[in-house]
Structure 1
Amino acid sequence: MSTAHDENPAGTGMTGRAPEQTEVVVIGAGQAGIAMSEHLGARGIPHIVLERDRIAERWRTMRWDSLVANGPAWHDRFPSLEIAGVGDDEFATKDRMARYFEEYVEMIEAPVRTGVEVTAVRKREGGAGFRVETSRGDIHARYVVAATGPFQQPAIPQIVPADAGVEQLHSSQYHRPDQLAQGAVLVVGAGSSGVQIAAEVQRSGKRVYLSVGPHDRPPRAYRGRDFVWWLGVLGLWEMSTPPQGAEHVTIAVSGADGGHTVDFRRLADDGVTLVGRTASFDGRSMHFNADLRENILRGDANYLGLLDQADEFIERNGLDLPEEPEARILGPEADCIVDPILDLDLRAAGITTIIWATGFAADYSWMHVDAFDEAGRPKHQRGVAAEPGIYFLGLPWQSRRGSSFIWGVWHDAKYLADSIEIQRGYLTYRAPGEASAPSADHRHDRREALSTGVN
């Protein structure tokens, strides 16, 4: 296997040439595609990884400047390589994470081709596998892994029209406070991104309103252990499905400033005005649900519940970890929580910018295969699609709660590589006495398979 950063490699099926042949095409060179390449390479399975931009592009350009990883370096990485220069309990910057993935590609000699956009995936006519149409020509592959992950299209609710007289941007477009217009800011969404952006913008001197919906609020650390450790020993990373009613609940946790527990009461004390979940806009005023206090109390219950489980685990296992009674002390509720704003006149409040920290939507419109439901969502079991030969990687809750995390996607990739290897084994089977001379159609497929290492 050879490492490739070449944007125009030889033999890529340029227009006028016969399609290139390989066994597996992996689409995307973020954490999912790189992990997939490692496991395919370890099994000697021929493959190509296609990336339309650069390796780990979303870490580079779809994050704000001060972002750090949400988990400590001992946890938020692949098993085979530490993040050099970052302490185990430190949080790597976004630029360091991008370099980490580049280093990983070099280490495993992943056959990554950057600057190649996949425009369509279709079942082959008159042959096995799929035709992958790209900006550099077609590629024929028996298997295709869509490793584009969940962060494909910024999701902005259709609430405020574009001509409402206020600048609107998605959290992926936010980089630093000084890019924003003069005036107050409304941040919609109180997961990790929304909370960190709201705090940063408020510290820059701007008036900030933060719309808070349902969320989980784990402690950053408790009794000397980070929350990622607690979720591990308590088996919570291995949950196969989210709790009923919590399918779209965000996690409010931060690695910023060395890591700290998100505390909405403290944010309010610091000057951030909290409001409930954003409901509608009437052309002048934004309307919020009367659920702010309920959302905060439910987040508190999630927080305290994890502390209870941690205390029980410590006692049951006889661990000598320092007690932390102050972790259970919740501060007083600010006025904005007790008497929340339900209607906010944007002009009167001086709001000139809305930042939508409302997540992303998947876009698989380029995949013309029978692997999606009526809503365009992948039909799969642990990433193995309903369409034989198609695989998905990097989806939230793909196999477990940890599937969206760096270490989790690595384990999901291993499962998919095992599945592909099993399928290859079936294709090598020959029944006793089976004729050794295949039909003309089979000879064509066999010649193609030999050229790509497919058996």
Structure 2
Amino acid sequence: MTAKIERIDTLVVGAGQAGIAASEHLTQLGVPHLVLERNRIAEAWRTGRWDSLVANGPAWHDRFPGMEFKGLDPDAFAPKEQVADYFEDYAATFNAPIRTGVEVMSVVRQQGRPGFTVETSQGVIEAQRIVVATGPFQRPVIPAIAPQGTSIYQIHSAAYRNPHQLPEGGVLVVGAGSSGVQIADELQRAGRKVYLSVGPHDRPPRSYRNRDFCWWLGVLGLWDMESPTPGREHVTIAVSGARGGRTIDFRNLAHQGITLVGMTKSFGNGKAIFHEDLEQNIVQGDANYLALLDAADAYIARNGLDLPEEPEARVIYPDPECITQPILELDLGQAGVTSIIWATGYSVDYGWLKVDAFDEKGRPRHQRGVSSEPGVYFLGLPWLSRRGSSFIWGVWHDAKHVAGHIAIQRQYLQYRAPAQR
């Protein structure tokens, strides 16, 4: 007996922030659709990060336009569980057609007729359109330089939960973006000896002159930048909402007790080797920080705003010894390092999407989320249409554009020639 094939106009893959945003706009436009999620709604927020994680932006900013966080100060930073609950509650407001516990195994284009055949863990679905809302954080990346055949405990930041998870001893945290810095800070405050490997980074102020940096990026038009500065495409951003929100200052972290080292170069004979770039990376981070302060001051003066001056924000403290005399080679055993946490980012995994929608490097080919492969759409990726595209509010606006494109295509296909009317 042939299994029944389910048919739907538009299939959305993933029920995180991108999938829910897509579902809202498709619902408003009357587009029949289904959202498939292999786990629970917003599962990555619940189980894909460490226990103490909070949103990196304040609650007034990191949300969808149509609903605020319940019982949370707008200037507070939502804990990860509350973020996940927010998305569940939001989906319920419009009865989003989400089916959880269903994994998409493959998507192939149908031959001789429009649409796609979708193999799932619960059967076959035929869809006219596919919205890929799986986001950019799919596969944790540990670089090839990771030491092999060693007793040192190694995990990616995606698997880190809390200090008690690690064996006793010191920790080397590789990667000084938001995740690496927050984890290193938490470990040091828990009494661990921590070495933090710092690469090139941007480090905006958490707030300046009584406004959060999210506000500054908004009024300065920086969230709406349509492409990154050449050469800065992959530079990480060091910002944190932890403990009420603090500006990340690597010198302060060093004075606090964290030992800073340069980018990790290699491992061998029980030693970690670092590049001679620590001071350069710190100085470039300072330049990025001060440039935003300058832009904010100029905006205030230009618009005659009455915001309190904050001269202390420009104070650069003396370099600690780990910067003036950087460690280039660390004997992990002698240093008591028993763990390495790789805060080295993620890659995407589109092995299930068997269509001609990718360039020679496996990156999606698209224009504002509309793929070069007709009928395929992408949402939630960094710089999909602007700098803010991978953020909660940014993906909502991108989803509106994608849903509008789908609705327009449906209208064309519903056209009937005069003889057919």
Same fold (TM over 0.5): yes
Tell me the CA shift for residue 16 of structure 1: 3.9
**Residue in 1 that maps onto 2:222:** 236
Residue of structure 1 in register with 2:94 after alignment: 108
TM-score by length of 1: 0.91
Q: Tell me which residue corresponds to 2:333.
A: 347
Give the corresponding residue for 1:397: 383
Structure number with larger C-alpha Rg: 1
Provide Cα deviations, 1:122-172, integer angstroms capped at 9, x if missing partner: 101342100111000010010000100000000110112342221110001
Give the letter aligned to residue 307 of structure 1. L
1:335-355 Cα deviation digits (max 9, x unpaired): 000111111111111111000
SS of residue in 1 equivalent to 2:113: coil
Alignment partners' CA distance in 2, 1:108 and 1:158: 45
State the 1:286 CA deviation. Answer: 1.1
The answer as to 2:141 corresponding to 1:173 is no
Gaps in structure 1 of 5+ consecutive residues: 1-14, 437-455
Are the counterparts in 2 of residues 196 and 254 from structure 1 also a CA contact under 8 Å?
yes
Cα distance between partner residues in 1 of 2:281 and 2:359: 32
In 2, the alpha carbon distance for the partners of 1:342 and 1:108 equals 56
- Does 1:423 pair with 2:416? no
Matches within 5 A, 1:54-453: 54-433=40-419, 435=420
1:432 shift after superposition: 3.4
- In structure 1, give the amino acid aligned to 2:106: A
* Structure 2 Cα separation of the partners of residues 278 and 377 of structure 1: 26
In structure 2, C-alpha distance between the alignment counterparts of 1:87 and 1:427, rounded to whole Å = 47
Distance 1:377 1:407 in 2: 23
| Matched AA of 2:403 | A
Post-superposition CA distance 1:72-99 (Å, at most 9, x none): 0000000001000111000000010011
The one-letter code matched in structure 2 to 1:299 is G
SS in 2 for 1:105: helix
Aligned to 1:10: none
Cα RMSD (Å): 1.0
Q: Distance in 2 between matches of 1:16 and 1:184?
A: 59
Structure 1 residue matching 2:127: 3-state secondary structure: strand
Q: Deviations over 1:306-341 (max 9, x none)?
A: 000000000000000000000000111000001111
After superposition, what is the alpha-carbon deviation per residue over 1:251-277, rounded to whole angstroms, capped at 9, x for unaligned? 101000100100000000011000001
> Residues 233-292 of structure 1: CA distance to partner in whole angstroms, max 9, x if unpaired?
000000111111111101101000100100000000011000001111124211111000
Amino acid at match of 2:118: V
Q: Deviations over 1:91-129 (max 9, x none)?
A: 000010011011011112100000000000010134210
Following the alignment from structure 2 to structure 1, what is the Cα–Cα distance between the partners of residues 333 and 127? Answer: 56
Matches within 5 A, 1:22-61: 22-61=8-47
Contact 1:164 1:283 in 2 (8 A): no
Greater alpha carbon shift after TM alignment, 153-162 vs 392-401: 153-162
SS in structure 2 at match of 1:64: coil
Q: Aligned residue for 1:6? A: none
Distance 2:146 2:230 in 1: 30
Counterpart CA distance in 2 for 1:16 and 1:151 is 37
Residue 453 of structure 1: aligned partner: none
1:191-231 C-alpha deviation (Å, 9 max, x unpaired): 00000000000011110000000000000000000000000
Displacement of 1:375 in angstroms is 1.7
CA separation in 1, counterparts of 2:70 and 2:146?
44
Structure 1 CA distance, aligned partners of 2:67 and 2:249? 33
In 2, are the aligned partners of 1:273 and 1:336 still within 8 Å (CA)? yes
| Separation in structure 2 between the aligned mates of residue 161 and residue 125 of structure 1, nearest angstrom | 47
Is the contact made by 1:121 and 1:133 (CA closer than 8 Å) also made in structure 2?
yes
1:390-433 deviations in whole A, cap 9, x for unaligned? 00100001000000100000000000001101111111223333
CA distance, structure 2, for counterparts of residue 16 and residue 393 of structure 1: 34
Residue 445 of structure 1 aligns with which residue? Answer: none
> Does the Cα contact within 8 Å between 1:91 and 1:259 map onto a contact in 2?
yes
Distance (whole Å) between structure 1 residues aligned to residue 2 and residue 167 of structure 2: 50
- Aligned partner of residue 248 in structure 1, secondary structure: coil
Is contact 1:117–1:134 with CA below 8 Å preserved after alignment?
yes
Q: Please state whether the residue corresponding to 1:228 is helix, strand or coil.
A: helix
Identity of aligned residues (%): 64
